[in-house]
Structure 1
Amino acid sequence: MVHHDTALQTTIARTVELTGVGVHSGADVTITISPAEADTGIRFVRTDGHAGPAIPALWQSVAATKLCTVLAGADGRSIGTVEHLMAAFRGLGIDNALVEVDGPELPIMDGSAAEFVEELELAGLFPLTKRRRMIRVVKPVRVEINGSVGELLPSDMPRFDITIDFSDTLVGRQNMVFDLTPGFFRKELARARTFGFLHEVEMLWKMGLARGSSLDNAVAIDGDRILNAGGVRWPNEFVRHKALDAVGDLALAGHAILGCYRSYKGGHRLNVAMVEALLSDTSAYEMVPAPAAAKIERPVERVIADLEERV
């Protein structure tokens, strides 16, 4: 990838098209990602049926967070499973793009953001003329929802401190702390796949949901066994995927957050609630120009992966 001044907003240099299965509908879906002007942000448009207004990728557009992050427009049309593509945009530092979708959800691909990242990097990043801005956290913000806890704290880097804590012994408790840079995202997060427990997936199938879910796009757990022939990509792929989701959901703030996001037993609902809590309190943040490239691209200061601790 060609490096550019990270203080400037970016889009992609050419249009990208991807096709895959929708994890909930089980139907093929195609998305087209096109360059966009500065200050337009990420926008989604449904192209099936009648043309509708663009849906801004902002927390105010979130319509559901139970199984995935779903955005909805003023006309009620929705687009689901946006979190992995949003993570790819934020992880690579892409500020502006138009995403056209010919169905109700984005393709799940292999359950990670890897294919999105590959295609976006092949397209290339294109610098725009306007300065990038960031949301700087100036005081702690905290949200608690049914045993899950999220905090946004002041930090000089976009930092994540993600902890998952499952009762089963295979996943158990895992923690990961990292500073988000394009290099770290590309190498350590983009390939982390979604995961699920077989009994939960079977229940969703009975409800007519998760019809596109398979071992090709998720890590399947059955008791103390992983059903995928290749196993996991990292011993802590589970917490890495939750971190990937967090990056994508927090991108719905509309700008990169300059702060530390700490979550315990979090998910889409908590992530989006944290963005809302931060941006609803004008005393908790300020808009600042993006720092120079040297600051954003400095080496990751610490990466702590708790691979062994189990409940």
Structure 2
Amino acid sequence: MGIELLEYQTTLKSSLSLSGIGVHSGKAVSIHFSPADADTGVVFQRVDAEASGRMIRALASEVGETDLCTGLGDVKGDHVATVEHLMAALLGMGIDNVSIEIDGAEVPIMDGSAASFVEAFRQAGIRTLDEKRRYIRVVKPVRIDAGSSWAEFRPYDGTRFEVEIDFDTPTIGRQSFAADMTAEVFAKEVARARTFGFIKDVERLWAAGFALGSSLENSVVIGEDHRVINMEGLRYPDEFVRHKMLDAVGDLALAGARFIGCFHSYRGGHRLNAAALRHLLTDHSAFEIVETTRRERGRGAEMIAVNAPVYAPWVL
């Protein structure tokens, strides 16, 4: 499948707000989205009394934690945790620029997937701006290994994700899912996949201060008998690997620009995704910055390399 050519940057047509609880903190939190100018990117601002109110850009350079979730900012200061589902929805739905105010330290988990964000963005609408969109195009393979896990980027004529998981439980086992990522594919095949966990891990997580807001309403839970205990069952037969793809989409959205290439991971997670992205962005021979240019009438469009400014978000 070829590239889904989107020539210009986008933002929301109107503002919107959502509320929920943090899956790890268990605290109520509200989040407000506003349209933003071209080249703003995705910017978070804490507006609660415990924060200084500094802007936190959704970039790989701001990643501060990767245990159980992806967090941005200084864990000891202003930070926003569990951004991956929201970031996946923004990238998946083609939204480049948005200002986000949040009155807590964790993005609400909603139903454990990106579906609520997708629906909210659809209702708000997406507006095309006047500035060209730039892409990170992978021009040579780069790979990172971490024990039995690995992840790689390789050149590809599109934006493709290939994710494999392998769990030592018959409920999951080894699963793989691959897709060329467009807004339609994301909304239909990926966005509704929920986070998951094992009942045997709950007490350990609680003791460590995690999963305080986790419930059967926002997580797929696997019981001691290796069965899914949620009454409604799974949304997809392979919902587990699709959720891992959702996480990967969200983690790679922190590149600061959409990538053209294929990302393939085996037994990955937030830490590996973040490490793979940094590995790509620090090897300036592995990628180039391109944008869409229109050819002569009737001949479509093509991607051309451009000179990136020194302040570009992908420069680490």
Indicate whether the TM-score tops 0.5: yes
Change (3 A) 1:138 1:105: same
Cα distance 1:290–1:20, how it changes in 2: closer, same or farther (>3 A)?
farther
Structure 1 segment 60-99 matched on structure 2, within 5 A: 60-73=61-74, 76-99=77-100
Q: Distance in 2 between matches of 1:197 and 1:74?
A: 26
2:168 aligned counterpart, secondary structure: coil
CA drift at 1:145 = 1.4
List per-residue Cα deviations over 1:177-228 (Å, max 9, x = no partner).
1100000001011100000011112211122321100000000001321110
Aligned to 2:16: 16
Could you say which residue in structure 2 is the equivalent of 1:242? 244
Q: CA deviation at 1:12?
A: 0.2
Structure 2: distance between partners of 1:73 and 1:92: 28
Larger deviation, residues 203-212 vs 109-118 = 203-212
Q: Partner of 2:297 in structure 1?
A: none
Identity of aligned residues (%): 52
Amino acid at match of 1:168: T
78-87 or 51-60, larger mean C-alpha shift: 51-60
Tell whether the 8 Å contact from 1:53 to 1:75 is kept in structure 2 after alignment.
no
Provide closer, same or farther for how the CA distance between residues 64 and 74 of structure 1 changes in structure 2, counting only shifts above 3 A.
closer
Could you tell me how far apart the structure 2 residues matched to 1:14 and 1:216 are? 29
Instruction: Give the C-alpha shift of residue 229 in structure 1.
Output: 0.3
Q: Which residue does the alignment assign to 2:305? A: none
Give the TM-score of the pair, scaled to structure 2: 0.89
Deviation sequence 1:233-281 (CA, Å, 0-9, x none): 0110000000000000000001111000000000001111111011101
Residue aligning to 1:302: none
Q: Are 2:165 and 1:164 equivalent residues in the alignment?
A: yes
- Partner of 1:287 in structure 2? 289
SS of corresponding position for 2:92: helix
Could you tell me how far 1:81 is from its partner in structure 2?
0.4
Over 3 Å off, 4+ runs: none
Work out whether residues 54 and 73 of structure 1, in 8 Å CA contact, stay in contact via their aligned partners in 2.
no
Q: Cα RMSD over matched residues?
A: 1.8
Q: 1:231 aligns to what SS in structure 2?
A: coil
User: Conserved in 2, the CA contact under 8 Å of 1:90 and 1:248?
Assistant: yes
Q: Kindly state the Cα deviation for residue 74 of structure 1 after the two structures are TM-superposed.
A: 10
Alignment of 1:112-261 (within 5 A): 112-222=113-223, 223-261=225-263
Query: What code does the residue aligned with 1:272 have?
Result: A
C-alpha change, 1:75 and 1:13, in structure 2 (3 Å) is farther
Gaps of 5+ in 1: 297-311
Q: TM-score, normalization: structure 1?
A: 0.91
In 2, Cα distance between equivalents of 1:36 and 1:17: 15
Relative to 1, partners in 2 of residues 1:195 and 1:75: Cα closer, same or farther, differing over 3 Å? Answer: closer
Distance across 2 between alignment mates of 1:212 and 1:74: 19
Q: Deviations over 1:21-56 (max 9, x none)?
A: 111111110000111110010011111114421101
Assess, with a 3 A threshold, how the Cα gap between structure 1 residues 115 and 295 changes in structure 2: closer, same or farther: farther
Supply the distance in 2 between the matched residues of 1:17 and 1:143 (Cα, whole angstroms).
Answer: 38
Pairing 1:44-59 to 2, within 5 Å after superposition: 44-49=44-49, 50-59=51-60
Q: Distance in 2 between matches of 1:251 and 1:290?
A: 19
Q: 2:21–2:28: 8 Å Cα contact kept in structure 1?
A: yes
Counterpart secondary structure, 1:282: coil
1:151 alignment partner AA? E
DSSP 3-state at the match of 1:226 = coil
Counterpart AA for 2:11: T
Instruction: Provide Cα deviations, 1:50-105, integer angstroms capped at 9, x if missing partner.
Output: 44211010000000101100000598311000000000000001000011110010
Q: How many residue pairs are counted as aligned between the two chains?
A: 292
Cα distance in 2 for partners of 1:256, 1:147 equals 28
SS at match of 1:85: helix
SS of the aligned residue for 1:259 comes to strand
Which amino acid is 2:17 matched to?
Answer: E
Please give the secondary structure, in 2, of the residue aligned with 1:244: helix
CA distance in 1, matches of 2:176, 2:160: 13
CA contact (8 A) 1:134 1:258 kept: yes
Question: The residue matched to 1:117 in structure 2 has which SS?
Answer: helix
Instruction: Answer whether contact 2:64 2:75 (CA < 8 A) is retained.
Output: no
